[in-house]
Amino acid sequence: MAGSAGTVSNVTALGFGVPAPGVNMPAMYMAGQVSGVSGIFRSLDGGVSWSRIDDATHQWGNVPVIAGDQQVFGRVYIGTNGRGILYGEDPQACFTCRYNNKAYPVITWNQPAPVSAGTALSGTQLNAPAGFGGNPLPGTYIYTPSIGTVLSATGSVRLSVRFEPADYLDYNSVTAAVMLNVNAGSLKTARIFWLYAGTIPYGTALSSSQLDASVNYPGTLTYSPALGTVLGAGNQKLNVTFTPNDPTKVAPASASTSLKVEKTTPTVTVSPAASKIKVAEGLGMTIAVSGSGSTPSGTVIVSSGSFTSWPVALISGSASFTIPKGSLAAGTDTLTASYISDSISSANYNNASGTALVTVTPLIALSVTVTPDATTLPYAENLIVTATVAGGSGQPTPGGTAVLSDGSYTSPAVTLNSGTASFYIQPGTLAQGSGTLTVSYKPDAGSSATYLASSGTSPLTLTAPGSTNITVNINTLANRHQISPYIYGVNSTNQTDITNLSPTLVRMGGNAATNFNWTNSHYNSGADYFFEDSGFGDGNGNPLSTTALTQFTVNSGSHMLNTMPMLNWVAQSSGWSFSVKEFGSQCQVDPYNNDAGNGLQSDCQTPVTTQPVTSAYYPLVDTPQDCPSGTAVTLTPPSGTTFTANGASVLFTTSAGMLSNGTTSGSSVIAITNSSGVASVTLTLPSTAGTVTVTAQDQFALGGTSVTFTETAN
């Protein structure tokens, strides 16, 4: 097992295992040759020397793999390339075999003789021999303090040793200790001069102004706390230790003094969001509390006049707060933020406060002018009252509502329109005699921050009715006449109603007819319903045809009354006027079509545009500007107006202008009816303004049919 430093060659495998006890490098295992001898070898010194761990009897043709155990020293594994995996253990190194049988060496160490301060430790003091059974053992001695250490402090010093035996397989490591007395001897005593450090405010870092001790021998002064330390408020102890340059001649020394650290008052900065507000406005603000040391913590309370806030906690030395509207009095207000330190900051900081000024503008009292259309009028007459609410020069137009009252009468609230409200009072509403009309103004959300609720008055006298009596005599038998049959009518487009009721007159009219487009049976609902185009039905789920309705009504024995649109526009088949996408948010939208608005902004008063919006309409072309003189107009009898059969001659005569598109017969034109019994001609309007009348008649008067057309020339 002796190690050899021979030449290594023909290595077929190399591996590593756990180090030997007391060795700081892994054990190496090799299959190869050392000095020409083949075998299995181990090295405990990094390959410097190798020991053979097999014998000549046990050999293998090839060892491609070898590895040491990673937990048990001395155990090695061999791969034989076909003969399995083998392992072996060194009985001299196997801890699992010998650990419990290892012996404990004995250290014999007598207490060394006393030394003087400044003495360096040597073998005279560090002389602890180890042995077993009366025989010394080789090994390593590890002393604490180590050899050469200078003992500068006086008193008892503990010396300790750890013995590491060279034969670690058979012996355990052991320790021992003795005490060494260090006498003052001839060491000189250093004197440290350090006066009272005085007083500093909290947040001041320690400097040479406080750490200014001096000593009468060369050496080093070490302070605790160190230079640059920020101490908390209160009485603090400062310490210094002197280490002499020559500890063999001068003994170390130490000293201390006291320092008073006083609490400081932090700075409170109040920053309002605005320097000027109105009484009815809230005010946001930020309060910052800064100190000379750590960031202050605690709470702040804001106060001004009769207003006091609740405590607001500081976050990283700052707090935000909003004073509710109406909390500050009109005038110049002083905002005071009071800082109250918590348990963390109270040791170092005093309570503090900061201020800021803000100007609070009072609300404006408006002038409310009440103007009736007459201040004296008969009791039985209508009364119209106009109220004008004004804020004065340079002030915004007030918004809100106004209510009129007189005696026991109170009107409904009327929304101001450009600062004006109108009231219509019916006869008999107010009491007779002298009274006072009072209009009370209430600002809305947009005006409440600027204006006060205000009122105005006007006198009013209602005279009593006249005393002359009027006698009315009614003779029900005089001037009797037949009631017109046309009062028995209906406003219905439902053919079933017309058939069942048999009315004398059928009317197609109402709001829907004002812009009814007879070509597509649609109308626009206007302000009635979000200005949307809708189909006009006949009551049976079909689009309304005025021609068909007229024909059905006449055939049913009734008379037809149609309302014809006289506006310049008629409805399209779909669409709406005030698109939210185009005009923005509006007061109301169709719950079934959220893009169709009512044309008013969110205040429900202001139109979204002052320009005409015609996107949901078709223009009519029968206005004078659309038919200037010289324009050709094709005249066709209305639907249902027929003459004789197909190919009949119809004579057209005009009072002015020129007829064409037919056979000329003097001043007239003859046109031939088509398969539907309809004849058409073209009228060119005259150059002078006036009404042109065209008459069409069966040339041979076979059917007796006559139709008159009118057009206007400008």
Q: How many CB atoms lie within 10 A of CB 391?
A: 19
The CATH code of the domain that includes 211 is 2.60.40.10
- Whether the per-residue pLDDT at 704 is higher than 90: the answer is no
- Both 175 and 238 in one domain: the answer is no
Long-range contacts of 700-708 (CB under 8 A, 24+ apart): 700/648, 700/649, 702/644, 702/648, 703/643, 703/644, 705/641, 705/642, 705/643, 707/637, 707/638, 707/641
- Both 613 and 513 in one domain: the answer is yes
Q: What is the C-alpha separation between 704 and 643, in angstroms, rounded?
A: 8
Asked if residue 54 belongs to a domain, the reply is: yes
**Top-confidence residue, 299 or 645:** 299
- Both 505 and 604 in one domain: the answer is yes
Position 118 confidence tier, pLDDT thresholds 50, 70, 90? confident
- Whether the per-residue pLDDT at 560 is higher than 90: the answer is no
What is the tens place of the pLDDT at every residue in 496-538? 888 888 898 988 877 777 888 877 888 888 888 899 988 877 6
- Both 324 and 443 in one domain: the answer is no
Strand runs labelled E in 263-366: 267-272, 276-278, 283-290, 298-304, 307-308, 312-313, 318-323, 331-341, 352-361
- Whether the per-residue pLDDT at 132 is higher than 80: the answer is yes
- Both 492 and 614 in one domain: the answer is yes
Position 139 confidence tier, pLDDT thresholds 50, 70, 90? very high
- Whether the per-residue pLDDT at 54 is higher than 80: the answer is yes
- Whether the per-residue pLDDT at 702 is higher than 80: the answer is no
- Both 491 and 612 in one domain: the answer is yes
- Both 355 and 274 in one domain: the answer is yes
**Top-confidence residue, 379 or 610:** 610
Asked if residue 475 belongs to a domain, the reply is: no
- Whether the per-residue pLDDT at 208 is higher than 60: the answer is yes
Asked if residue 471 belongs to a domain, the reply is: no
Picking from 409, 431, 463, the residue at the C-terminal end of a domain is 463
Which residues, 6 or more positions from 211, have their beta carbon under 8 angstroms from its beta carbon?
Answer: 223, 227, 238, 240
- Whether the per-residue pLDDT at 291 is higher than 90: the answer is yes
Asked if residue 75 belongs to a domain, the reply is: yes
Picking from 75, 101, 127, the residue at the C-terminal end of a domain is 101
Percentage of the chain exceeding pLDDT 70: 88
- Both 512 and 600 in one domain: the answer is yes
- Both 319 and 380 in one domain: the answer is no
Domain extent at residue 541:
485-619
| Highest mean pLDDT pick, 329-333, 355-359, 515-519 | 355-359
Asked if residue 605 belongs to a domain, the reply is: yes
Asked if residue 230 belongs to a domain, the reply is: yes
Q: What is the pTM of this model?
A: 0.39
- How much is the average pLDDT of 274-281? 87
Position 2 confidence tier, pLDDT thresholds 50, 70, 90? very low
> What are the φ and ψ backbone dihedral angles of 9, each rounded to 5 degrees?
-155, 170
Residue 507 is predicted with a pLDDT of 87
- How much is the average pLDDT of 248-272? 92
Position 639 confidence tier, pLDDT thresholds 50, 70, 90? very low
- Please tell me the total count of domains within the chain: 7
Residue 4 is predicted with a pLDDT of 57
Q: What is the C-alpha separation between 697 and 284, in angstroms, rounded?
A: 87
- Both 308 and 406 in one domain: the answer is no
**Top-confidence residue, 301 or 652:** 301
Q: Is the previous residue joined to 311 through a cis bond, with omega within 30 degrees of 0? A: no
- Both 340 and 390 in one domain: the answer is no
Asked if residue 588 belongs to a domain, the reply is: yes
- Both 149 and 226 in one domain: the answer is no
Residue 419 vs residues 372, 422, 439: alpha-carbon distances, Å: 16, 11, 13
DSSP state of 447: T
The CATH code of the domain that includes 116 is 2.60.40
Asked if residue 87 belongs to a domain, the reply is: yes
- How much is the average pLDDT of 404-431? 91
- Whether the per-residue pLDDT at 709 is higher than 90: the answer is no
Q: What is the C-alpha separation between 127 and 484, in angstroms, rounded?
A: 151
Picking from 215, 234, 262, the residue at the C-terminal end of a domain is 262
